Amino acid sequence: MNPDNEPQARNEVQPENLNLWHAFLAQVNENQIYFGASQETLEYLRHPKRMVTVSVPARMDDGSVRFFTGYRVQHSISRGPAKGGLRYRAGLNLDEVRGLAAAMTIKCAVMNLPFGGAKGGIDVDPKTLSRSEIERMTRRYTSELVDLIGPDKDIPAPDTGTNEQIMAWIMDTYSQNKGSTVTGVVTGKPVAMGGSLGRVEAPGRGIAYSIFGVASREGISLEKASAAVQGFGMVGRYAALGLFERGVRVVAVSDSSGAIYAHDGLDIPRLLEYKTENGSVLGFHGAKRIDQESLLTLPVDVLVPAVREGAIHAGNAAKVEAQIIAEGANHAITRAADTILEREGRFIIPDYLANSGGVVVSYYEWVQDFNNFYWTEEEIRQNLEQHFTHALESVYALKLERGLNLRQAAFVLAVSRINESTNLRGLYP
């Protein structure tokens, strides 16, 4: 199966603790002096609403039955139904899932979407299974959660190791159990089954929109700028394309096979075709191979780490030369690296802003499914860019008012919105 992101290869040097749940709790604790939120709201953030672990038996092609461990965490529903991706990754654990679910709560609030945060997945390497084995595993996982998910409860979407075909199987399994077709139970599904045009490219294009939005507000000209994009999966490739289309010279990209560099810039549309035909960016005409780690420290204006958490860490942060760094992957910059980059005067666009294009267009898809009326691709792109403009306006207003950096401002804005809805709803009974 083709994942939304490149395989999660690990850095050799990662001294920090990358427990995603602990990282979220640390952000809550470190920023609470800025919140003005009630202690009850902060405790809600520290205590996910629901955490489910399920055994997922699936029949293999040889007739044997193999058991997998599945998860679904609904972190918050104070602003609406839970929303979040579904990942198939070997080594997936509960702390990773609840950390990502909490990040979705913040992301949805930053983008002012009527959702809370969720995340789920299965501890499995999908590359070790056949298509039919993945289908049977997916359908059983869905049946285990059929009473917990739904268009007004919890709406999964693709993430690492999953794709629109898996969303189609989930939608069909859920619909079979409910006795009618329910397109809105998932987003990121095929267009032929109620999916939205522009959903696949949305995470990457959102990164590009956020980069141009921050550059204009910080007085940074990108007219002759250069960029490097770590990762050329469904996120990185469309981030690179969005930058290329607006005149940024994308000089380096990487995928799981390696990294390439061209001083005068890569022809991204041609590279997309080459990658599709050859399965790798290596060997692209006019580009030379470089070390994957060195891509992060190239002398470029813009850097997009779009592969994995912890790509920029205490061991390499001081070597990063890019003026603008947009987190294309969740937690791509560790807390220690954040401090170093801030000290060096870099502009960091946090994951809560930069990579939220996917959930924004998932919201559009959800709305379209309810109405059975679908938008054009151009309408999706225009609305997405406008959504980023409004989000950046709100974040920057708070940044300037409080003297915060972008990560702090986004987090504080999100918590203020969550606090308002939590207080208005009250506690039942």
Q: Are 174 and 194 in contact (CB under 8 A)?
A: no
Sign of the CA dihedral running 318, 321, 324, 329: negative
Q: Are 236 and 259 in contact (CB under 8 A)?
A: no
Element (H, E) at 67: strand 65-74
Among the listed residues 83, 119, 189, 399, the single catalytic one is: 119
Q: Are 109 and 409 in contact (CB under 8 A)?
A: no
Per the annotation, the verdict on 119 as an active-site residue is yes
Q: DSSP letter string over 110-167? A: HTT-S-EEEEEEES--GGGS-HHHHHHHHHHHHHHTTTT-BTTTEEEEE-TT--HHHH
Closest C-alpha to 156, from 164, 376, 235, 417 = 164
Closest C-alpha to 20, from 70, 75, 69 = 75
Q: Is 332 exposed, middle or buried (0-12, 13-18, 19+ CB in 10 A)?
A: buried
> Hey, what amino acid is at 422?
T
Element (H, E) at 105: helix 94-110
Q: What are phi and psi of 38, to 5 degrees?
A: -70, 155
Angstrom distance (rounded) from CA 404 to CA 396: 9
**347: which strand partners?**
324
Strand segments (E) across 265-363: 288-290, 302-305, 324-326, 347-349
Q: Are 396 and 219 in contact (CB under 8 A)?
A: no
Angstrom distance (rounded) from CA 88 to CA 11: 20
Q: Are 158 and 150 in contact (CB under 8 A)?
A: no
Peptide bond into 350 cis (omega under 30): no
Q: How many residues does the chain have?
A: 429
Please tell me whether residue 395 adopts helix, strand or coil conformation: helix
Q: What are phi and psi of 44, to 5 degrees?
A: -60, -40
- Active-site residues: which are they? 119
